[in-house]
């Protein structure tokens, strides 16, 4: 029997500093997120980051937390429920960090008699720190606890026509309301080093990004190429004029160079250079979360206004968009046929 497992990133259990610390510990000790050798990673995470970051992050989570819990979890649960209603096979939901765990998601499917699982990382663009860590962990758990199960994973869907269509439509409806002068596509950032590590050709990736428009097998796993491609395809669909949209990368952590340009710098420069109406879309996330609601919807917005901007629109993620639910359910139904 077939089943599907949707997997998102996960959130702390609550906004307490202790719960946020436990969550960040699990998240940042993942070698595909902070990719230094174990002893260095343990020193940096447990000796430095976990001393200060949990308090700051807990305060940020408090600003966006809902009575039902973390927006990322609540929105993922709603997505799961609606996808289950539109599919013919059992579908479960899991988180890479925190609860519900991937192991419990696999267990729930196995308990329903499932032996073939469609693993769906809920990230449109591939990254070692997002998609790959889910696929690796799920395979490890299957091998250890559920050897009768086979896993098939959904590749990054950054350029799938139906996804681009749904994303474009949802952006278009917001643009019609807010009529911005500029649309910024802000993707979650990555340390530049991660791009090189994921380059399967070992020679294609240039840190300056000049490689990302030259066709290469490396692009199957190149986060930056995939972000550019999602943007290009949406821009084509919406007939966006050259110069009326751009790409940037948000949420950096630590002192290493991350993929540029940085969203916070770009937004401040826009405001300082006289741009008055800005809309920001965040297509690296399918469900709204801390990084969209707080970092963009609150922090970036105040910074834009403080620097002279007047109107700032944070475009919601696809969340419970009906066509997105139909699209995702369609991928599952097609696989199950
Ligand atoms: C080295 C650090 C990080 C890498 C690399 C990274 C990649 C990455 N993350 C997401 C998606 C999300 N990240 C979220 C929060 C978040 N991310 C980091 C660090 C890295 N992410 C931290 C420390 C945090 C926690 C909050 C904070 O302290 O700033 C979230 C939101 C979670 C929530 O509960 O709402 C998402 C989603 C992707 C897609 C990605 C690689 C492309
Ligand atoms: Fe992140
Ligand atoms: Fe590239």
Ligand showing the shortest atom-to-Cα distance for residue 190: 1
Residue 184: pLDDT band (50, 70, 90) is very high
Ligand showing the shortest atom-to-Cα distance for residue 17: 1
Sheet holding 311-314, edge to edge: 245-250, 182-188, 277-281, 311-314
Q: Note the helical H segments in 29-93.
A: 38-42, 50-64, 71-85
Ligand 1, closest atom to CA 57?
A: 28
Secondary structure class of 135 (helix, strand, coil): helix
The H or E element spanning position 106 is helix 102-111
CB 323 within 8 A of CB 161: no
Distance of CA 307 to the CA centre of its chain: 28
8 upstream amide cis, omega within 30 of 0 = no
CB 140 within 8 A of CB 105: no
Please choose from 63, 129, 298 the residue to mutate so as to test ligand 1's pocket, defined by most ligand atoms within 8 A of CB: 129
Share of the chain above pLDDT 90, in %: 95
**What's the pLDDT at 208?**
84
Query: Whose C-alpha lies nearest to ligand 1, atom 23?
Result: 24
Per-residue model confidence as pLDDT tens digits over 107-145: 999 999 999 999 999 999 999 999 999 999 999 999 999
User: Has residue 207 got a pLDDT over 90?
Assistant: no
CB 289 within 8 A of CB 328: no
Residues with beta carbon inside 6 Å of ligand 1? Answer: 9, 11, 24, 33-34, 53, 57, 70, 72, 123, 127, 129-130, 188, 190, 223, 251, 253, 284-285, 289-291
User: Has residue 25 got a pLDDT over 90?
Assistant: yes
Rounded Cα–Cα distance for residues 142 and 324 (Å): 29
Which pTM was predicted? 0.97
Query: Whose C-alpha lies nearest to ligand 1, atom 26?
Result: 57
User: Has residue 260 got a pLDDT over 90?
Assistant: yes
Residue 219: pLDDT band (50, 70, 90) is very high
- Give 262's contacts (C-beta < 8 A, 6+ positions apart): 189, 248, 249, 250, 252
Q: Which two tokens stand for residue 210?
A: 């000049």
Strands (E), 66-144: 91-95, 116-121
Rounded Cα–Cα distance for residues 224 and 331 (Å): 24
Enumerate domains of the chain plus CATH numbers: 2-156+322-336 (3.40.50.1400), 161-314 (3.40.50.1400)
Ligand showing the shortest atom-to-Cα distance for residue 23: 1
């Amino acid at each position: 029997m077939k089943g599907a497992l949707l997997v998102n990133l996960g959130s702390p259990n609550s906004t307490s500093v202790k719960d946020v610390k436990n969550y960040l510990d699990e998240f940042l000790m993942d070698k595909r997120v902070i990719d230094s050798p174990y002893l260095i990673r343990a020193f940096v995470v447990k000796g430095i980051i976990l001393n200060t970051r949990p308090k700051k992050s807990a305060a940020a989570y408090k600003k966006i937390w809902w009575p039902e819990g973390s927006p990322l979890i609540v929105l993922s649960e709603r997505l799961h429920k609606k996808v289950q209603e539109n599919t013919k096979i059992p579908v479960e939901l899991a988180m890479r960090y925190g609860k519900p765990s991937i192991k419990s998601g696999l267990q729930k499917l196995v308990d329903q008699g499932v032996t073939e699982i469609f693993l769906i990382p809920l990230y449109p663009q591939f990254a070692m720190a997002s998609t790959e860590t889910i696929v690796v962990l799920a395979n490890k758990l299957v091998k250890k606890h559920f050897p009768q199960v086979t896993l098939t994973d959904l590749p990054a869907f950054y350029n799938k026509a139906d996804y681009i269509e749904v994303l474009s439509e949802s952006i278009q409806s917001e643009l019609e309301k807010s009529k911005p002068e500029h649309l910024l596509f802000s993707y979650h950032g990555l340390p530049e080093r991660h791009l090189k590590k994921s380059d399967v050709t070992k020679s294609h990736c240039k840190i300056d990004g000049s490689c990302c428009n030259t066709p290469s097998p490396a692009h199957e796993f190149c986060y930056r190429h995939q972000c550019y491609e999602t943007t290009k395809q949406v821009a084509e669909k919406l007939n966006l004029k050259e110069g009326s949209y751009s790409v940037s990368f948000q949420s950096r952590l630590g002192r290493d160079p991350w993929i540029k340009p940085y969203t916070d710098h770009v937004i401040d420069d826009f405001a300082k250079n006289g741009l008055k109406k800005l809309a920001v879309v965040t297509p690296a996330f399918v469900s709204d979360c801390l990084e969209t609601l707080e970092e963009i919807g609150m922090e970036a917005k105040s910074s834009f206004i403080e620097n002279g901007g007047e109107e700032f629109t944070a475009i919601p993620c696809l969340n419970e968009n009906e066509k997105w639910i139909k699209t995702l359910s369609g991928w599952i139904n097609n696989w199950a046929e």
